[in-house]
A and B are shown apart, each in its own frame.
Chain A
Amino acid sequence: MDTSLLLQLTLNGLIVGMLYGVVAMSFVLIYKASQVVNFAQGEFLLVGAWVCWWFLTEWQLPFYAGFAFTLVFMMLFGLVLQVVVLRPLIGEPVISVIMATIGLGIFFQALMKWIFGVFAKPFPPIFAMEQVRVLGLEVQTVYLASLGVSLLIMAGFGWFFKASKHGLAMRATAFDQQVAQSLGVSVPKVFAMSWAISAVVSAVAGVVVGVVNGVSSALSFYGIKVFPAVILGGLDSILGAVLGGVIVGLLENWAHYIDSQWLNWGNMFQIAPFYGLVLILLIKPYGLFGTKNIERV
């Protein structure tokens, strides 16, 4: 037993899990508002991180300006995707919508590889790379900052849905589209807004991961890790998404610990969440907090 390694991995899991939670949250946002399962969520991270990287290195902008431009770009990106690709598919069967987002995923992943190459590229140093001692563990300030950003985003989401008018309109649309429409909520606007917000939030997560690990197409794997998280938490629960993300982050790090200490199978880190996913689907397909779907003929 290596206690300090276990603690370190647990902390890692917590930090990465919070990021998964943020991405899962933006995934659930789209699903709740427009009933679209977005298989291109990971590509949002990828595009956001690359665009920010481009502003910072090619244009030599200071971080805050480049970051702000990135967020504006991602907002437009989400809007355009929704209007151009997803809007014509309203009313089509689930499989068509899923396939469209998968197609978007392939397209943007290949496009990013084409423009920026296949190798990971580091961000210019933004934070001083210092070590801080927390509970006797060496932690990089970047990780702490990413934890802070995740919490900030979650708090922002909480405020948005509880207190703002647009958030209320979105909750109304998620509850019942026809009722929302009859009360004067513009449903197409809500759909577009949900995609824009989701793209922006994902891009923030992408930039955070990019600052920590460098930008590469591996970022899009976050979009796939989202599925275990949201299935665990329930597809339509934002709280569940956060919790699911943290659990998946912890699960993969603990699987890594067990693997490195006793099993030595290798690759458990990547694959453990998917075993978890299959188990959950078999036992509790609506997740921890999801609403059970009752169907009538």
Chain B
Amino acid sequence: MTALTPCGDWRASYRADTTIFPTRNSRIALLLGILLLCCAPLVFGRFELSLLINIGFLGIAALGLNILVGFTGQISIGHAAFFGLGAFVSAYLHERYHVPVLLCIPLAGIFTAFIGLIFGAPAARLKGLYLAIATLAAQFILEDFFARAQWFTGGVAGRMTESPVLFGFAFDRDESYFYLTLAWVIIMFTAAANLMRSRDGRALVAVRDHYLSAEMMGINLAYYRTLSFGIASLYAGIGGALYAHYLLFASVEAFNILFSIQFLGMVIIGGLGSVMGSLMGAAFMVMLPEVTQMGADLLAGSSIDRALKLGASISFLREMVVGAAIILFLIFEPDGLARRWRLIKAYWKLYPYSH
């Protein structure tokens, strides 16, 4: 029985310590999970699929932010601006230079990473709340730039774009786009999981845990802080590009401060410093408005609904729920859904001796 790791720490070599899959069965379980997801278009309707696609590209961007916030300990309140930059760059490359969309997506990621490095270089000197305030300024400056740069973003009207096409096959339906998103999710999450096993990943964590000690051990602080900003922007750019080619439209107003805060919410709810947690956080943040909507629909027509005008003010209600979820998680579950997931796994593993 190799399904379960015995309790206690049995890792005796570096190889065992850095492995992604502690047992053979955990690898099989993950592959099975991916296989199950591949069957999703056969089971789900359009609405559920669109939710899954949303979770996919938001999860990629949230993972980027988690590498910055959760692994490196640098905070950023401007993630949505980079997400938007990726969306616009990809759309612009396709329309202006007729680059195939499938190529546009990684190119947008690389370009956004480059811009992120430029913003990250001055940010490398800052940390904590100073960095939070600086990235807040970056958010407003980039937003202002988007609104100003008509040639790039289409201004107030927004920019239309097209679906990806591969050898004449268009990813223009939810079913096909789902597979594209899934592929990118697998690529980006595998890359992040492997980054954390590498020398660079350990350096990032060291910078977070104690930056002065890290510097004494020879870790170049400025280099790794800037690098982390670049990686976060890369993920945001790819997520944004996937967003643009899914909605076939990107508008300036979408990438506001509230969206940035939602990304931070995903990271916190999912669990700071957890790769899979980012995806869970994104799923939570995508499902939250839907659940709110369902709750409001359930009450529709009742006296509560009439007294509180639920139907008319559902958009405010959604914002409130986001704010409340962030606060409640911070107070009651600061390590996020990832920890809850570990606890559930441990409960089943130790059942019935869970204490």
Binding site for B on A (CB under 8 A): 37, 85, 88-89, 92-96, 98-100, 102-111, 113-114, 224, 227-228, 231, 235, 265, 267, 270-271, 274-275, 277-278, 281-282, 285, 295, 297
Contacts and interface: CB of A to CB of B under 8 A. Distances in A.
B3 interface: no
22 contacts: A37-B133, A95-B75, A95-B272, A98-B75, A99-B265, A102-B77, A102-B261, A106-B319, A106-B323, A107-B319, A107-B327, A108-B323, A113-B313, A114-B309, A271-B144, A275-B141, A277-B134, A278-B134, A281-B126, A281-B133, A285-B126, A295-B212
B334 A103 contact: no
Interface of A: prevailing SS: helix
Interface residues of B, number: 47
- B125, B258, B322, B330: residue with the most chain A Cβ atoms closer than 10 Å: B330
Contacts of A92: 330, 334
B264 interface: yes
Given A224-B136, A274-B137, 9 more contacts: A95-B69, A96-B334, A103-B330, A106-B326, A110-B323, A267-B144, A271-B140, A281-B133, A282-B122
B213 interface: yes
Contacts of B137: 227-228, 274-275, 277-278, 281
A37 B75 CA distance: 13
A285 B213 contact: no
Given A89-B331, A110-B323, A281-B126, A98 B132 contact: yes
Nearest to B331: A88
A222 B132 CA distance: 17
Contacts of A274: 137, 140-141
A281 B313 contact: no
A109 B319 contact: yes
B148 A265 contact: yes
B207 to A, nearest CB: 14
A103 B322 CA distance: 8
Contacts of B319: 106-107, 109-110
A267 B145 CA distance: 11
B320 interface: yes
A278 B139 CA distance: 11
B168 interface: no
Contacts of B77: 102
Nearest to A231: B133
Interface string B322-339: 111111001100100000
B323 A96 contact: no
Contacts of B129: 37, 94, 98, 235
Contact of A114 (B75, B125, B317): B317
B169 interface: no
Contacts of A228: 137
Contact of A106 (B69, B148, B216, B320): B320
Contacts of B130: 231, 281, 285
Given A104-B323, A231-B133, A89 B330 contact: yes
